[in-house]
Amino acid sequence: MEFKLLNKDFKIPVLGLGTWGIGGFMETDSTNDEKSIQSIKDAIDLGYTHIDTAELYGAGHSEELIGKAIKGLDRSKLIITSKVFKTNLRYDDVIVSCKKSLERLQTDYIDIYLIHAPNPDIPLKETMKALDFLVEEKLVKFIGVSNFSVEQMKEAQKYSKNKILVNQIPFNLSARNYDWKGNCSNMESEIIPYCQENDIIIMAFRPIERGFLLETKSILDDLSEKYNKTKAQIAINWLISKKGIITIPKSSNIEHLKENLDAVGWKLSEEDIDLLDKTNFGSPNV
Ligand SMILES: NC(=O)c1ccc[n+]([C@@H]2O[C@H](COP(=O)([O-])OP(=O)(O)OC[C@H]3O[C@@H](n4cnc5c(N)ncnc54)[C@H](OP(=O)(O)O)[C@@H]3O)[C@@H](O)[C@H]2O)c1
C-alpha cells in the first residue's frame, strides 16, 4: 500500500474502503448483515486499513456493521473516518452524534471526524468548537470537512484550534468542477489547489462515479489495454497520482475489493495522466 501524510506523524493509505449502501442508504437495511460484515472483514484481510463511514449511512447501521466487523481486531492498525450530518451541527448535537457513532462502532475514538456537508443555518463557530472539544476529550484524533468550498474551509479553520486536515469531495474523471449530484463545485479549479497548498488531504469520493466511468466507452478502454489494468484501476490510479489525493471506493464484492487494491503500486505515465486530465468524460445525467 502507498500512503500520503495526513500530518507529520500520521500516514493515510491512498486507498480506503467506502461504505455508502452497506447497511442501507438513507434508511437501515438489515437484510444482508452477515454478508456485509464478512465483506468488511474480507477487505481488512486483504489489506484495507482505512474505512470511511457516516452517521447518515443506513441511519447508523453502516457504523454498527463496521463495529461488528472490527471487533477483536487491533484498533491501532485501523483508521476510521466518520461524519456528523449537516442537521446535527449545533454544539451539543455534534457531541451527541459523535458519542452515538462511537457506541455503534464499539470503539473509544474516531480517527478522522468530518462535517458531512455545510449548513448555512447553523453557525460554523459552534460546530468547530464542538469538534475542538471532541479532540480535547480524545474522542476524535483529527478533524476535517466534506463538500466544503475554499471559503467555507477558511471560515471553519478560523474557529478551530485544530487544523482541518481533510476535505472529502466528489472528484473523479467525470466530476471535475461540476458534481451532477450538486454536493460541491469548483473541485479542480479551486478546492484541490487550495488543499494542496495548505496540506489538507483530499479524500476523493465516488472514484468510479458509481460505475458510470466503467459503463461508457472512452479512452479508459484504450488505457486499460495498454496497461493491462481494468478501467476502474486506471480511474483510481489517475486520482492517487495527484498530490494530496487519496480515495475510498465502496465495494462489498471480494473480486472488486482485490481489483481496486491493484489500482495501487504502479504508475500511469505523465503523458497518459495529461491525456486523462484533458478528456471530458461527461456525467451520468447528460
Ligand atoms: N462525503 C460525502 O458526501 C460522500 C458522498 C458519497 C460517497 N461518499 C463516500 O465515498 C465512498 C465511495 O463513493 P460511492 O460508494 O458513492 O461510489 P463509488 O465508490 O464510485 O462506486 C461504488 C459502486 O461501484 C461498484 N464497484 C466498486 N468497485 C468496482 C469495480 N472494481 N468494478 C466494478 N464495480 C465496482 C460497487 O459495487 P460492489 O459493492 O458490488 O463492488 C458500488 O456499486 C462511499 O461509499 C462513501 O463512503 C461520501
Is 286 inside a domain boundary? no
Best CA proximity match to 46, nearest among 259, 228, 223 = 259
Residue 38 amino acid letter: Q
Residue nearest to atom 31 of ligand 1 (CA): 256
**Displacement of CA 160 from its chain's centroid (Å):** 22
Is 284 inside a domain boundary? no
Is 201 inside a domain boundary? yes
Is 283 inside a domain boundary? no
At 43, which CATH number?
3.20.20.100
CA distance linking residue 131 with residue 276, whole number of Å:
38
Cα Rg for the chain, rounded, in angstroms? 18
Task: Write the pLDDT tens digit of every residue in 156-188.
Answer: 999 999 999 999 999 999 999 999 999 999 999
Beta-sheet strands, E only, within 92-244: 110-115, 140-146, 164-170, 201-205
Residue nearest to atom 4 of ligand 1 (CA): 205
Task: Write the pLDDT tens digit of every residue in 112-157.
Answer: 999 999 999 999 999 999 999 999 999 999 999 999 999 999 999 9
Instruction: Quote the ligand 1 centre to 158 CA distance (angstroms).
Output: 32
Give residue 99's pLDDT: 98
Q: Report yes or no: 136 and 166 within 8 Å, Cβ to Cβ.
A: no
Instruction: Quote the ligand 1 centre to 121 CA distance (angstroms).
Output: 29
pTM beyond 0.95 = yes
* Domain housing 265: 3-278
- Cβ neighbors of 3 (< 8 A, separation 6 or more) are 11, 12, 13, 14
Question: Which atom of ligand 1 approaches the CA of 183 most closely?
Answer: 3
Residue nearest to atom 30 of ligand 1 (CA): 256
**Does the pLDDT value for residue 79 go beyond 60?**
yes
CA distance linking residue 206 with residue 215, whole number of Å:
15
Question: Cell triple for residue 124?
Answer: 460554523
**Does the pLDDT value for residue 286 go beyond 60?**
no
CA distance linking residue 269 with residue 64, whole number of Å:
41
Number of domains in the chain: 1
Question: Which atom of ligand 1 approaches the CA of 230 most closely?
Answer: 31
Instruction: Give the binding-site residues of ligand 1, using a 6 Å CB cut-off.
Output: 18-20, 52, 116, 146-147, 168, 183, 205-211, 214, 232, 248-253, 256, 259-260
For a ligand 1 pocket test, name from 201, 233, 251, 261 the mutation site with the most ligand atoms within 8 angstroms of its C-beta. Answer: 251
Q: What is the mean pLDDT of residues 39-53?
A: 98
Is 285 inside a domain boundary? no
Packing angle, helices 61-70 and 33-46, rounded to 10: 50
What is the SS3 assignment for 230? coil
Q: What is the mean pLDDT of residues 193-222?
A: 97
CA distances from residue 124 to 117, 121, 206, 218 in whole angstroms, order as listed: 11, 9, 26, 42
**Does the pLDDT value for residue 285 go beyond 80?**
no
Is 239 inside a domain boundary? yes
What is the SS3 assignment for 242? coil
CA distance linking residue 9 with residue 208, whole number of Å:
30
194 is catalytic: no
Is 117 inside a domain boundary? yes
